[in-house]
Amino acid sequence: MQNIRMAYSIDEAAEFTGIGRNTLRMLIEWKKLPVLKVGRKLLIRGDTLEAFIRLNEGRDLRDRDTVKAISVHSDG
C-alpha cells in the first residue's frame, strides 16, 4: 500500500480498504482492531490497518471466532 496516512476515521478506513463501516465498528467493538479515541471520534492507525488486513487475509471478518486481533504495543 502506498501513501498511507498516519490515521483514518471509520469512514476513511472503509473507503481506503473496502471494508464496510459497520464491519469496522464491529471489529473495534470486539477488540480485534485497536483505535485511538479523540472525543467521540475513532481513529485507526494506517500501519495498524495494513497489519490487520495482512493478518486476516482469507478470513471472514464477520466471524468473531476466526478474526485475529492486532495487538497494541506501548512504548511507555
Q: Please say if the pLDDT value at position 76 is more than 60.
A: no
Per-residue pLDDT tens for 37-64? 999 999 999 999 999 999 999 999 999 9
Q: Which of 67, 37, 36, 73 is nearest to 53 (CA)?
A: 67
Q: What pTM was computed for the model?
A: 0.86
**Total domain count, the chain:** 1
The total of other beta-carbon atoms located within 10 Å of residue 8's CB is 22
* pLDDT, mean over the chain: 91
Residue 60 lies in a domain: no
Please report how many Cα atoms fall inside a 13 Å half-sphere around the Cα of residue 48, on the Cβ side: 21
Q: What is the CATH number of the domain that holds 17?
A: 3.90.105
Q: List the domain range (segments joined by +) for residue 11.
A: 7-55
